[in-house]
Every structure is written in structure tokens, then in C-alpha cells.
Amino acid sequence: MSTLARKKGVGAVIWDYLTTVDHKKIAILYLIAGGIFFLLGGLEALVIRIQLAVPNNDFISAGFYNEVLTMHGTTMIFLAAMPLVFAMMNAVVPIQIGARDVAFPFLNALGFWLFFFGGVFLNLSWFLGGAPDAGWTSYASLSLASPTHGIDFYVLGLQISGLGTLIGGINFLVTIINMRAPGMTYMRMPMFTWATFVTSALILFAFPPLTVGLIFMMMDRLFGGNFFDPALGGNTIIWEHLFWIFGHPEVYILVLPAFGIFSEIFATFSRKRLFGYSSMVFATVLIGFLGFMVWAHHMFTVGLGPIANAIFAVATMAIAVPTGVKIFNWLFTMWGGNIRFTTPMMYAVAFIPSFVIGGVTGVMNATAAADYQYHDSYFVVAHFHYVIVGGVVFALLAGAHYWWPKMFGKMLDEKLGKVTFWLFFIGFHLTFFIQHFLGLMGMPRRVFTFLPGQGFETGNLISTVGAFFMAAATVVLLANVVITTVKGKRVGADPWGDGRTLEWAVSSPAPEYNFAQIPLVRGLDAYWIEKMEGKKGLTPAEPLGDIHMPNPSFLPFVISLGLFIAALGFLYNQDYAWGKWVGIVGLLVTLGAMFLRSVIDDHGFHIHKEEIMEAEKKGAGA
């Protein structure tokens, strides 16, 4: 049964990935799918910037612009940033806590396929009558008025992919609670694991409100519901609340893992343990908690009244405190360190000033009375791109360079990596810094063009130029990936030489079973401790023996495919008689696959001791 050390054909490899339940392979799936959606979202961003390069431009039409704008936001948040974060989590967290896999390998695969089919479904809209065009927030009155099926694709696609995210969140919560190696107490967990833990909790509580909102909108658009129709007593503000009760924690769902990634990188390349580890943990938890208390700061201009606005303003400001603690802790991690400017470290270092700008403009936005000016202007666009790009995307790029050898066994080229970094860094600030001023000068966001003579020309042109720098950076990155894959040299367990956490103790890439023997963890930065004591490997916590592994399964793919078919059917429910039936067939496929999963016993298989010993010998030689 073992798949160790077997040469395989292309078909077999594809089948392997379609059925895999191995967290490392699922990480690669997330990375590829998320990467493709990232390119797509980036392309959409370029279209937006080209259209806005000069006043009264007619590069694309107004209606199409709204589709591109909506899909840019939706794709980047749900289909690029989230899955890329999941790629990092899957690649690293189980190994960081000394586990052989996640708690629910089957659900892990299911989570990926749900996200994937949801994303594909959403993008089908381009070819089937038009993409959603009401912004990624899809405010109810506009989205109900939208004439094409675009919004239906949005509503159904996000329900499917949201389900996948929710499953992923539960999986990591249980994994981190139940699967830690002996000695890996909570306060010895690497910062990235902590971030994953808190993020997963946020996912668990933030996604259901979004699902409910999407259900309401689906009911209204496809099944005659009246949740958001004021004529029949509905209320569109309900959508705004539900969306932002999800939407604000979503920011932290993205940015906390980013903080986690940078925490690892700062410690590694400063060759110092993380400064103020306990306060970092506390700050992470606090940010996660406060993240749920502040959603209405997205709604200051809705007319909730001064009391609500004041409360949410002050609560929002409070988040700056734990975030500030983190910034200073990172600075003091570097203080007295031996800093090596590798590509991941460049991103980490550049992240600090970039993210501080995003953070302080966040506080500015929190001042409700002044936010009446900022709200829905380009100031806000600048602010959240500083947070999402300067925080999350920098972290994902850093993490990709940092953990690439662990995922693929080869180092990305450092020279090209630095070229990517500089292009991206310059492009990023060039694009978004000026947008603060455009907003303050009176430019509303989500405009498909602007008229001459309002003072917006220079700023927009600079911004567009910047976007091309980022595009160039992406091209270099892709070239780097290709060159590395073709020509890169295999590396050993700890290719950066300064690895501190457990993932650097196993070969690159890690064997299917991660650890031949589950390690005994003796403190924070478990691998570093062993290294400093002059030991080669980890202290094992168990004798070498057979390792129990989960079976691969095709069912996650089928369950997700069923929902995909069902969504397609229900989308056409009101247009064609077959719509409903296709929808029901799709649901039956899903339920049938779930039924099979329930009735077929799946006890997994064992990798035998001898095979492990052989594999370890080879791995050590690599």
C-alpha cells in the first residue's frame, strides 16, 4: 500500500493529487490553485489601473469595469489570499507541532476541493452572461438590482468555497489542540502555529454569518425571498451587518497568519528567539477577540447613530494597541541580532514600515467623525491595500520563499528573489501611497473613470505606473519558480542554516509520515535547542515502529463536484425547467458521496518499520 519511493507516470501523479489526503500535497494544491487565482486577480487589477490611468478613458466599458472590480476584490480575498494562507498552514503547521498529519486528513482534502470548485464556479460567470458587478461587498440593494446572473455566481460560489474554509478552520483547531507532540505545550508553540490557531477560531465564528447572508441573498434572488426588499418589509442593512460581522474578522483571518509568518522569519534571520513571546501570543489572541467587536466601523456613514458610531470608533482604536505591541516586539527581536538579509527577511523588514502606514491609517479611519470624509474614498482603498498587500501579500511572498525548500526540496534563486522583492516593494508604494491623497482630494472609490480638471490626473497616472512594477515582479517570481523547478539543486533539512522550529528538522520535502519518530519537545524553538546542544536530530519520544497512515480518497472531489453541479442547476432554477432537477441531482451526488464515506470503513494503512528506515537513510543523504 505504501507509496514511498515509487516512480509514477503523469496520470498516476494527477490521480495521486486528486485523491491525496496528505497535508503536504494539499498545501501544494492550495499553493497552485491560490497562485493561479492570484494571477487572475492581479490581471484584473492591471485592467483597473489601465482604465484609470487617464481621465475619461474608454479602455473598458463602465459595466465591465464594475465586473472586473468586483471580481478583483472577491478573487483576491476569497480565492487568492485565503487559499495561499491555507497553503502555508498546511505545509508547515502539522510539522511545527510535531504531528504526522492533521486531525482530519479527509476533511482537509474536502476543504480544498470545496474551495477549488467554489472558485471555478465563481469564475465561470465570465463565460455565462457576466460576472458579479456589485463590488466584493455586494450590498443588497445594488446586488438585487443587478440584471445578470453574476451575483448568483457570487452567492453560490462563495457558499461552496466558504464551506471549505470553515472545514479547514475546524481541522486546524482540532489538530493544534489534539495532535501536538509530547512536550509541545501551548506556550511552546511556534508563533505561526499560534496565529493559525487563532485564525481558525476566527474562521469558525466569522464564516457562518457570511453563509447566512449569502443564503438570504440566494433566497431573494432565486427563490422569491424578501429579506432585502423594503417594499415587502425587508431591510438591506441586515446584509451590511452580516457581511461585516464576517468581513472585519476576515481581515484578521488574513493578517494574523501573516504576522505569524513574519514572526518566524524575524527570529530565524536575526538568529534570536522572538522577543516577548508571551506578549505576542497574548496580542494575537486579543486582536482575534477584538476583531469581532468592531465590524460597524465599516458602516459609520450608514446612519447607525452617534452612540453606535462612537462605541465602534473607540473599540476599533483599541486594536491598535496589541498591533503596536507586535511591531515593537519584532523590532526588538532584530535588536542585538545577527541579521541576514535573505529574500524572506527583506519582505519582513519591508513589511514593518509598510504595515505601520496601513495600521495608522486604520486608526485614522476609526475616528468616526473624520471617517465620514475617508469612507468609500480612495483613502480607504489605499489603507486596506497597505494592510492586505503590505501585510498579507508581503507575508505570503516571504513565506513562499522561506518555506519553498521545505515544500519542494529546492531553494528559490536568491538573486531573482531580491529582484522580485525590489520591484514589488517599489511598485506597491508607488501604486498605493498616492491613493491616500487622491481620496482626500475627493475621489470616491469604485469609479470607472474620472473627469479632467478635478486634480486627479497625476496621482492616478503614478498609481498605474506602480501597478506595472508589481506585474513585473510577478513575472520575475514566475520565472524564478520555473528556473528553480528545472535547474534547482536538492537541499537538506535546514537549508537556511538557522531554522529554529521543528519543520527544519525533517528532510526537505518532509517524508509522507513527517517524523519517523514523534519528537520530544523541550522548549520554545525545539529544533534550535537541540542544535545548540550540538545534537544532530531531535530527541525521539517513541521507539521506531510501524506508522499508521490515512487512505487516499476520491470522495472529497466528488462531494465538491456534486455541490458544483447543484449550484449550477439552482442558478438556472428560474430560467429553465431543468434547473431544479440538475440542482437536485447535484445534491444527491454530494449526499451519496457522503453516504459512501459513512458506510465504507476506512482504517488506513501502515508503513512498516523497514520501509521507514530505508527512507530515512535516503532522506538523510539528500
Partner 1 sequence: MKKWLLNWRLFSLFSLMALLLAGCGKPFLSTLQPAGEVADMQYNLMLLSTAIMVFVIAVVTIIFVYVVIRFRQRKGQENKIPKQVEGSHKLEIIWTVIPILLLIILAVPTVSYTFKLADVKPMNKEKRDKDVVVVNVRANLYWWEFEYPDYGVVTSQDLVVPTDERVYFNLKASDVKHSFWIPAVGGKMDTNTDNKNQFWLEFDSKRAEEAGGIFYGKCAELCGPSHALMDFKVKAVSRAEFDQWIEKMQNAKPVASTDPVVKQGEEIFNKSCIGCHAVTPVDKRPEQARTAPNLANFADRERIAGILEHNEENLKEWLRDPEKIKPGNKMTDTYGKLTEEQIDALTKYLMTLKVE
Partner 2 sequence: MHIEEKLTPETFPAEPEKATLEGKNKFLGFWFFLGGETVLFASLFATYLALKDSVAGGPTSEELFKMPLVFVATMLLLTSSLTSVYAMYHMKNFDFKKMQLWLGVTVLLGAAFLALEIYEFNEYVHEGFKFSTSAFSSAFYTLVGTHGAHVTFGLLWILTLMIRNAKRGLNLYNAPKFYVASLYWHFIDVVWVFIFTVVYLMGMVG
- Among positions 267-286, residues that touch partner 1 (CB under 8 A) are 270-273, 275-279
- Cα–Cα distances in Å, from 569 out to 65, 502, 581, 583? 28, 47, 7, 4
AA letter at 28:
I
Query: Which of 129, 182, 208, 492 is in the footprint of partner 2 by CB under 8 A?
Result: 208
Give the angle subtended at the CA of 285 by the CAs of 279 and 290, to the nearest 5°: 120
Query: Which of 115, 424, 450, 572 is in the footprint of partner 1 by CB under 8 A?
Result: 450
Can residue 229 be called a binding residue for partner 2 (CB under 8 A)? Answer: yes
Pick what 36 binds: partner 1, partner 2, none; C-beta below 5 to 8 Å, kind-dependent: none
587 by DSSP, 3-state: which? Answer: helix
Of the pair 160, 443, the CB lying nearest partner 1 is at: 443
Query: Which of 12, 14, 310, 591 is in the footprint of partner 1 by CB under 8 A?
Result: 310
Query: Which of 6, 7, 11, 232 is in the footprint of partner 2 by CB under 8 A?
Result: 232
Give the angle subtended at the CA of 535 by the CAs of 616 and 497, to the nearest 5°: 80
# binding residues, partner 2 (CB under 8 A): 42
Angle, in degrees to the nearest 10, between helices 457-487 and 23-51:
150
- Among positions 128-167, residues that touch partner 2 (CB under 8 A) are 166
Pick what 598 binds: partner 2, partner 1, none; C-beta below 5 to 8 Å, kind-dependent: partner 2
- Among positions 288-317, residues that touch partner 2 (CB under 8 A) are none
Query: Which of 128, 204, 462, 541 is in the footprint of partner 1 by CB under 8 A?
Result: 462
Residue whose entry in the numeric block shows the C-alpha cell 485614522? 364
Query: Which of 204, 302, 461, 588 is in the footprint of partner 2 by CB under 8 A?
Result: 204
DSSP string for residues in 448-493: S---TTSS-HHHHHHHHHHHHHHHHHHHHHHHHHHHHHHHPPB--S
Whether residue 156 contacts residue 132, with contact meaning beta carbons closer than 8 Å, is answered with no
CB of 524 to partner 1, least distance (A): 9
In this structure, what DSSP letter does residue 503 have?
G
Of the pair 212, 339, the CB lying nearest partner 2 is at: 212
CB of 333 to partner 1, least distance (A): 8
> What is the C-alpha separation between 587 and 565, in angstroms, rounded?
8
Query: Which of 77, 357, 400, 407 is in the footprint of partner 1 by CB under 8 A?
Result: 357
- Among positions 382-441, residues that touch partner 1 (CB under 8 A) are 422, 426, 430, 433-434, 437, 440-441
Whether residue 79 contacts residue 119, with contact meaning beta carbons closer than 8 Å, is answered with yes
Determine whether 415 is exposed, middle or buried from the number of CB atoms within 10 Å of its CB (0-12, 13-18, 19+): exposed
Strands 547-549 and 605-607: antiparallel
The phi and psi torsions of 605 (rounded to 5 degrees) equal: -145, 175
H runs (alpha helix) in 75-131: 82-96, 105-124
- Among positions 513-542, residues that touch partner 1 (CB under 8 A) are 532
Could you list the residues that contact partner 2 (CB under 8 A)? Answer: 103-104, 107, 166, 170-171, 173-174, 177-179, 204-205, 207-209, 211-213, 215-216, 219-220, 223-227, 229, 231-235, 238, 242, 245, 595, 598-599, 601, 603
